[in-house]
Every structure is written in structure tokens, then in C-alpha cells.
Amino acid sequence: MKENNIIGMDLGDKKHVVCVLNAAGAVVEQTSVAATPEAVAKFFQRFRGAVVAMETGTHSRWVSRLATAAGLEALVGNARKLRAIWANEKKSDVRDAEMLARIARLDRQLLYPVHHRDEATQAQLVLIQARDGLVGARSALINQVHSLVKGFGARLRKCSAECFHNEKLPDAVAAALAPVMETIAQLTAQLRHYDRAVTAQAATQPAVQRLTQVPGVGDLTALAFVLTLDEVGRFDKSRSVGAFLGLVPRRDQSGQTDKQLRLTKTGDP
């Protein structure tokens, strides 16, 4: 029966390797599926009611979403916790897929299943992630200009990143660095566009508006916090939020020894 099948999927950029187990744990099919929504959806149609296990990764979000839409139970395992897979001395895509299926068949909690945000929430979070990428690119270019100018015995005055493109450069490097300064100016303009988009998005969410009432918390921080937590009902108590974000100490307990270590920092950076 299809509903008794356990499917392990090792996700890849070009193809997903699949291992299907029956209720007795025997391998009934090993194949691969093209890494396209159309091919994956067609494959899932054959196994409505089954359980499919995969690891977190670039493709796990949309693959698990398609599995749920096709009537399968999707389990997305925390890749950081699955040492039995990534530490295997004979690691291969086929072995990984089978191991995922067998772990899901034995005890799904051993996968440390994660919760993926819905598509709408993730799309909003992409806005913040894209902005962060531009901030990093601008900072890298500004640091490069500072470094190159110092090589000529000059030093630029301190100013905000938003105004840096207006800085006057030494004549010796002005021509060479003009395109870089122009790029910094363009990044600054694009960041203003993102800031306006973040403000507009924040205005539509009451939870964000409540958070911005806290001194020092702006639209960007509040929106990122709300979108990262997503469904707050998943947390039994508020203290769990800190652990979810990695703000909890590591622990190494054995016998009479119980070490309290540094913060895990394993949450969403």
C-alpha cells in the first residue's frame, strides 16, 4: 500500500535521489527524480499517503511543500543533527536517501524535524535577506577604497556609508576608483528602496508595530524577528524563543560532571 511506504530523498541541484521502503523495511524502489517542480510533483502523485523524509537544504522548502500538497507527510530533518548520514565513511547519495528513509521508519524524532515557513512569509523574509546582501557588498567596497587610498599616504575622513560615495579621492587613484564609487552610490540608492519596502511591509503587521514601541527597535529589526519566528503558537513558552535563536548555553553532562558552556548560536544568523 502506498500509504505505508517510507520515502527517503537526498536532494540535489540537478536530481533528487530516492529510496522507497515498504512497511516491512524492504527497499522496493531506488531511483532519481529531476530537480524540477514538475518532475517532483509527478513523482509524489504515485505515493499519496506515504511519508517522505529529507534533510534541510536549498531545495527542502519547495520539495516539502509539494509533498504536502500531493497528500504525503513531509519530514524535514535537521542536517546538523544527522551525524549518521554526513559522517558515514561510505557516504553516497543512494546511501543517504536510504538512511533517511530508515531513520524516519524507526523514529521520526531522530530526524529532529524542522518547521519551514510558508511561501508568503519566506517571500517577505527574502526582502530582508536581499537587503542584507547589498549592505555587505557596499561595506566590502567601502573597506576596499579605504585600504587602497591608504597605500598612497592618504586617509579619507570618517562618514556614514550613505554619504561615502561623495568623498573626494586623491588624484592618483580618483580615475581608477571612480567606477567603484559609482557602484557604491548605486547600492546606496537601492538600499533606500529596500528601506522603504521594509517600512511598508512593517506597517501591515500589528505584531511588528507593537515591537517598534520598544526603544531602539526599528521596523527592520522588528520585521526580521516576527518573520523568523513565523508561527508563535509553535512555542510552548516564551523562553523557548531564546533557544530557537541559539541564545542558550551548550551543555556537557556526564555522571557528576555538568558543564555549562558558551551559547550555541545555532539559530538563524
Residue 27 lies in a domain: yes
Q: Where are the beta strands (DSSP E) in 71-220?
A: 73-77
- pLDDT of the residue at 261: 86
Give the pLDDT confidence score for residue 252 in this predicted structure.
87
The pLDDT of residue 2 is: 64
Q: Give the residue carrying C-alpha cell 550555541.
A: 264
Residue 215 φ then ψ, to 5°: -55, 130
Nine cell digits for residue 58: 536549498
In this structure, the answer to whether residues 136 and 156 fall within a common structural domain is yes
Question: Coil, helix or strand for 25?
Answer: coil
Name the helix (H) or strand (E) containing 126. Answer: helix 119-150
Distance from C-alpha of 54 to C-alpha of 161, rounded to nearest angstrom: 42
Range of the domain at 124: 119-203
Residue 83 in any domain: the answer is yes
Q: Which distant-in-sequence residues (6+ apart) come within 8 Å of 80 by Cβ? A: 266
Asked if 54 and 101 sit in the same domain, the reply is yes
Q: Report yes or no on 213 lying in a domain.
A: no
Instruction: For 58-109, write each residue's pLDDT tens digit.
Output: 999 999 999 999 999 999 999 988 988 888 888 899 999 999 999 999 999 9
Q: pTM of this prediction?
A: 0.81
Q: What is the CATH number of the domain that holds 104?
A: 3.30.420.40
Domain membership flag for residue 15: yes
Which of 73, 88, 111 is the last residue before a domain boundary? 111
| Per-residue model confidence (pLDDT) at position 253 | 86
Residue that finishes a domain, picked among 81, 111, 141: 111
Whether the Cβ atoms of residue 76 and residue 116 lie closer than 8 Å to each other: yes
| Per-residue pLDDT at 232 | 87
- Please report whether residue 223 resides in a domain: no
Name the grid cell of 11: 536532494
Domain final position from 56, 81, 111: 111
**Domain identity same for 91 and 181:** no
222 within a domain of the structure (yes/no)? no
Cβ neighbours for 133, distance < 8 A, ≥ 6 positions apart:
none
Together in a domain, 89 and 160: no
* Residue segments in the chain with a per-residue pLDDT below the cut of 70: 1-3
Q: What is the DSSP code (8-state) at residue 238? A: T
Q: Which of 73, 33, 71, 66 minimizes the C-alpha distance to 52?
A: 73
Do 86 and 69 fall into the same domain?
yes
With b for 16 or more beta-carbon neighbours within 10 A and e for fewer, the 34-52 pattern comes to ebeeeebeebbeebeebbb
Is 82 found in the same domain as 66? yes
Q: Based on the domain organization, do 105 and 8 belong to the same domain? A: yes
DSSP run (H or E) holding 154: none
Number of Cβ within 10 Å of residue 184's Cβ equals: 24
| Residue 211 forms part of a structural domain | no
193 with 136, same domain: the answer is: yes
Cα separations (Å) of 47 from 17, 43, 113? 16, 8, 21
Tally the domains of the chain.
3
Task: Determine the Cα angle at 192 with ends 188 and 198, to 5°.
Answer: 135
Residue 211 near residue 222 (C-beta atoms within 8 A): yes
Report CA 257 to chain centroid distance, whole Å: 35
Residues 253 and 163 in one domain: no
- What is the helix (H) or strand (E) element at residue 133, kind and residue range? helix 119-150
> At which residue does the C-alpha cell 531522530 appear?
110
Is residue 107 domain-shared with residue 176, that is, in the same domain?
no
Does residue 225 sit within a domain?
Answer: no
Shared domain for 196 and 242, answered yes or no, is no
Residues 29 and 102 in one domain: yes
